[in-house]
Amino acid sequence: MSFPPPDPLNPAQLRAVHHLHGPCLVLAGAGSGKTRVIVHKIAKLMQSGLGPSKIAAITFTNKAAAEMRERAKSMVGARAASALAISTFHSLGVRMLRADGQRLGLKPNFSIMDSDDVLGILRDAGGTTDAKVARTWQWTISLWKNQGLNAAQAAAVAQDDREQVAARVMQRYEERLMAYQAVDFDDLIVLPLKLLLNDREAAAKWQDTFAHLLVDEYQDTNAVQYELMKALVGGHGVFTAVGDDDQSIYGWRGATIDNLKRLPQDFPKLKVIPLEQNYRSTGAILRAANHVIAKNPKLFEKKLWSELGDGEPVQVVACDNEEHEAQRAVQRIQALRASGAAQKLSDFAVLYRANHQARVFEQKLRTAQIPYKVSGGQSFFDRAEIKDLCAWLRLWVNQDDDPAFLRAVTTPKRGIGHQTLATLGEFASRWKVSLFEALFSPSLHTALKGKALQALEDFGREINDLEYRARHAQGAQAARTFLLDWLKVLGYEQHLLDGEDSEKLAQARWAHVLEFVDWIARRCGGELTTEGAVIESTQSSVLEVAQTISVIISLAERGEDQDVVTLSTLHAAKGLEWPHVILAGVNEGLMPFQGPDEAMTAQRLEEERRLMYVGITRARTTLAVSTLRRRQRGRETVAAQPSRFIAEMKLEESVQQEDPRERLRKLRESLAAQSPRVLHDAADP
């Protein structure tokens, strides 16, 4: 088998690519070409005689999986790339459960609950209307599952009354999921592991399916994902784990750096290959990063270096307060663009520790008429109330959509409890029909009787009636009238008021619902753009709009290739890079983050330091670190101290205290004799 000549690899990358027949840990430092190594190793495995379907590459996001597949396609061809098992851990889990979930009591078309579905089931299981309490249970149960604990084991390790309650809720929650023939996101890892550990035949099948396992971002795996990896490789222990202990920043969601420590213990023949050459950042940026991370204890020795030259010194920008900080960030963006150092707005990113820090940057960017996007911010269509209504629309379009059925039948509540739905699920599974189709089975009365049967039949007739009305509600006015009437009959506004502790929050959610109604109505009237311009005069029915809802939503959301400044948390920025980065709010209490009543343990400080390291290494050409003299804490303004991480960067000899306003002034003077257009571009908006 031959492929196009690969790009040249450095000696360390070559060692990683050519180690084919045993366990391998590739310590891939930031910007060291880890994806390149994975793709080249896939090609090398195929050249050695391994079929593409025998190779699994696991990533943590669908985006990363898609990028890896595209890069693999360029090396091994489209046909071979399509046969590779490139997916996330969770997608692999879905594949395994669709194939063998029946061994665990799951039907092949089981439902996958999203976060809001889970929250609703937990509120029911725990007998509470308090969304905050239910979210606490959700978080606690998720952490337990990621540690490999079931409800009984969680009850045994519960440390206080609050956790004991959560363990009891977990028991009822697990019962409901099984009754609904549903799984949650964590189950997509937990259940495949259970399958492999408890079913020798299934374990042998899946170990034979994949002869070589490659795991990207290995440092982000949790305890269950590690056990799943071990179970998949079995006794032969042939895998490649690619990760960086210096970028382990997700301890708060269950990821554990202990997985790196366990590898050489569980696999004594482990080959450790560090990738230290950085292809992203200048020497000055890498020096600052290396100095910071050197303060952490090391699992494996590694020090980044670059051939890109020293570049601009890292800048420290002292600011009076948050507003001043945001203003100076805007001025820096304007100055770098005016100087020609940056051509595009998408070359810039402002990174911060907590979501609330974005607000003032948004304000200043809007004032300066600079477009931006907030990375990781909640999409309008991700809101629970919008998902609720979309579930109903999905069910009108496809009445066999079981997840949509479960969400619609329970939101708002209509006296149909989990036991009734469990019985319906068992009946549907036995006769191999959808939940909706089961409602109209002549033999359903053998499984359900009385009020339960009546309530389900009423719901089925309601869906059919709504589907008919949606089909005939054509044009903006008819659509708006139909949808508002439906919401009134549904009692959805009251549902929101009952479900929120704050009336203000409930009204805000209701405003989102009305906005959604208007959004659909406008599209029924031919207004198909988010700006409201009519580009197609043909009127549509509500059902026609519902049929294309997923496409419309994707078009309505902001594209990734827009020329805009990125505002992002440090966690959301991992894996990304920009020519020019501003690290904001680098102060004690913010970076490293510490709540008013929280102790700064050694473990927490180490993870916060790794987060700082990740932030520094996002920058390619320039890095500015801004710190506050005074900052907002709650409703108070308090004195602020620069973060200890600034001193740890050891910038003393090369620090330049810059003033973007002065830089702008000098640029304008030097450009004054040039064309008016150039001068205009250098001016403030």
Question: Could you tell me how far CA 617 lies from the centroid of its own chain?
Answer: 20
The three-state secondary structure class of 183 is: strand
34 is catalytic: yes
**Cα dihedral value 3, 4, 10, 11, nearest 10:** 30
Distances (CA, A) of 606 to 167, 285, 296, 508: 30, 20, 6, 39
Measured CA to CA, the distance from residue 148 to residue 225 in angstroms comes to: 9
φ/ψ (deg, to 5) at 8: -65, 140
247, 282, 423, 617: the catalytic one is 247
The edge-to-edge listing of strands for the beta sheet with 578-583 is 315-319, 619-628, 578-583, 348-352, 565-569, 372-375
φ/ψ (deg, to 5) at 574: -60, 135
Give the residue among 580, 672, 585 at the shortest CA–CA distance from 625.
585
Q: At what angle do helices 549-556 and 384-397 cross, to 10 degrees?
A: 150
Single-letter amino acid code for the residue at 106? L
124, 186, 187, 216: the catalytic one is 216
The answer to whether residues 315 and 622 touch, using CB atoms and an 8 Å cutoff, is: yes
The answer to whether residues 302 and 260 touch, using CB atoms and an 8 Å cutoff, is: no
Residue 28 half-sphere exposure, CB side, CA atoms within 13 Å?
29
523, 618, 620, 644: the catalytic one is 618
The three-state secondary structure class of 434 is: coil
116, 124, 174, 217: the catalytic one is 217
Measured CA to CA, the distance from residue 644 to residue 52 in angstroms comes to: 49
Measured CA to CA, the distance from residue 370 to residue 574 in angstroms comes to: 24
The three-state secondary structure class of 352 is: strand
CB-neighbour burial class of residue 345 (10 A; exposed 0-12, middle 13-18, buried 19+): middle
Distances (CA, A) of 284 to 95, 309, 429: 45, 8, 62
114 is catalytic: no
650 is catalytic: no
CB-neighbour burial class of residue 489 (10 A; exposed 0-12, middle 13-18, buried 19+): exposed
The three-state secondary structure class of 318 is: strand
216 is catalytic: yes
Which H or E element spans position 239?
strand 239-243
Which H or E element spans position 570?
helix 570-573
34, 364, 394, 407: the catalytic one is 34
Give the residue among 378, 382, 386, 379 at the shortest CA–CA distance from 519.
386
Return all residues near 4 (Cβ < 8 A) that are at least 6 apart: 74, 75
Which of the residues are catalytic? 34-35, 216-217, 247, 618
